[in-house]
């Protein structure tokens, strides 16, 4: 982990927020991934985020390890909880509930992913808060919406299965596979963030807040873009193609002399350059491969021809040769290699967060958004449970 200079602790005098959302107060009643990811992004951009957690265990992800960070908290929890403070309040306790309500009534944004009706029964629902805080942006995150699916549990794996993503992911039709990260949660967190920011912008005109609702299933259906459109516009039910693309070829993984190489050829100019560098320029004129629809229809023959040619050199050599001629390609990196690539490209993918309590600092994955004047800031390490006053 990175060793960095010390800074004030969470409960003493946390760093003053800066950035485009400085001055915004977020009451964060979320846990696990979609909601915490959204509130972390808001915190990165300068909002003050107060995370409300159960006194006994806090956010479920605190225990989702190994691996664990140096402060004893799970790496999973660390991944989405920087730039927040934590209060441990039991919402079934009248005093703690009163504290939570007072926080929500002064917040610009309240975001929650409780079971349907749970906060309404405690006087923390949208109707309760907007009556006294008419400018509040109240964002609710659920698995399957607030209607007939309100009682269904919203876990990413479940939605990947029920929402169709696993039916198009895997090596073959008999091996439906989940994506290697909780992609649906992340999509939903991003949609929540967009919705909140849009509602805040509208509030500058009207002076009024509103409720924003997002759910995992709708986010997934939107996020499947061309695959979803194939069904909606053409009645096509996509299936599993492994690493191949349903509408582009060659756009998949190929063997070389040593390791796999991805080719992502999106147009005829790129294909002609690929054929020429492989030493078979006639491929680009072959009627089976002359256009992208031709190449998609004759995918098997195309893959066989390209695989035979790619076997004559290594993946790294092919990458250098093909990239020099404008052909998109690259090896399949592991995560360590991916971070090393980002470093070489000057993207600064890892940044340190100072922490006085730990006597050092921790590394965190950089926010991917850059600003010319008001950059994302890394003020606070993910908080220990209930270490702040709120």
Residues annotated as part of the active site:
185
Q: What is the DSSP letter of 121?
A: G
> What is the C-alpha to C-alpha distance for residues 305 and 308, in angstroms, rounded to an integer?
5
The CA angle 146-148-154, to the nearest 5 degrees, is 60
Q: Which residues, including other chains, have CB under 8 Å from residue 162's CB and lie 6 or more apart?
A: 217
Query: Is beta strand 251-254 parallel, antiparallel or unpaired with respect to 210-215?
Result: unpaired
> What is the C-alpha to C-alpha distance for residues 105 and 124, in angstroms, rounded to an integer?
9
- CB burial class (10 A; 0-12, 13-18, 19+) of residue 230? middle
> What is the C-alpha to C-alpha distance for residues 345 and 369, in angstroms, rounded to an integer?
16
> What is the C-alpha to C-alpha distance for residues 180 and 238, in angstroms, rounded to an integer?
20
Exposure of 367 in the CB half-sphere (CA atoms within 13 A): 25
- Could you tell me where the beta strands, DSSP code E, fall in the chain? 25-29, 48-53, 85-88, 109-112, 137-142, 210-215, 251-254, 261-264, 329-331, 350-355, 360-365
> What is the C-alpha to C-alpha distance for residues 270 and 350, in angstroms, rounded to an integer?
33
> What is the C-alpha to C-alpha distance for residues 178 and 160, in angstroms, rounded to an integer?
7
Strand partners, 210: 137
Helix (H/G/I), strand (E/B), else coil: 52: strand
**Dihedral, 147, 151, 152, 154 alpha carbons, nearest 10:** 90
Q: What is the DSSP letter of 123?
A: T
Q: Give which of 215, 189, 213, 39 is closest to 138, Cα–Cα.
A: 213
């Amino acid at each position: 982990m990175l060793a960095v200079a010390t800074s004030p602790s969470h409960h003493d005098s946390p760093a003053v927020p800066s950035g485009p959302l400085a001055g915004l107060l977020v009451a964060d009643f979320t846990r696990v991934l979609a909601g915490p990811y959204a509130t972390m992004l808001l915190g990165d951009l300068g909002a003050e985020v107060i995370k409300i957690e159960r006194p006994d265990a806090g956010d479920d992800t605190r225990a989702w390890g190994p691996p664990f960070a140096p402060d004893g908290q799970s790496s999973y929890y660390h991944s989405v909880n920087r730039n927040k403070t934590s209060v441990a309040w039991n919402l079934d306790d009248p005093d703690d509930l009163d504290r939570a309500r007072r926080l929500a009534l002064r917040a610009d944004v309240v975001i929650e992913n409780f079971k349907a009706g749970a906060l309404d029964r405690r006087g923390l629902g949208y109707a309760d808060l907007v009556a006294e805080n008419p400018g509040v942006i109240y964002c609710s995150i659920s698995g399957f919406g607030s209607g007939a699916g309100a009682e269904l549990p919203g876990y990413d794996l479940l939605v990947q299965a029920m929402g169709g993503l696993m039916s198009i992911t895997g090596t073959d039709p008999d091996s439906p596979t989940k994506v290697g990260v909780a992609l649906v949660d992340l999509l939903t967190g991003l949609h929540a963030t967009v919705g909140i920011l849009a509602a805040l912008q509208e509030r500058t005109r009207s002076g009024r807040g509103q409720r924003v609702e997002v759910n995992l299933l709708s986010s997934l259906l939107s996020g499947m873009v061309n695959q979803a459109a194939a069904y909606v516009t053409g009645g096509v039910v996509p299936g599993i193609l492994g690493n191949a693309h349903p509408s582009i070829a060659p756009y998949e993984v190929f063997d070389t002399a040593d390791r796999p190489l991805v080719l992502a050829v999106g147009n005829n100019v790129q294909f002609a350059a690929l054929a020429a560098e492989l030493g078979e320029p006639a491929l680009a004129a072959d009627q089976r491969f002359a256009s992208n629809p031709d190449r998609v229809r004759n995918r098997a023959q195309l893959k066989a021809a390209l695989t035979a040619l790619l076997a004559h050199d290594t993946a790294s050599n092919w990458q250098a040769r093909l990239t020099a001629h404008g052909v998109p390609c690259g090896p399949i990196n592991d995560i360590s290699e991916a971070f090393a690539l980002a470093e070489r490209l000057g993207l600064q993918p890892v940044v340190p967060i100072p922490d006085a309590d730990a006597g050092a600092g921790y590394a965190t994955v950089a926010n991917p958004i850059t600003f010319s004047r008001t950059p994302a800031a890394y003020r606070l390490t993910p908080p220990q449970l209930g270490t702040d006053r709120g």
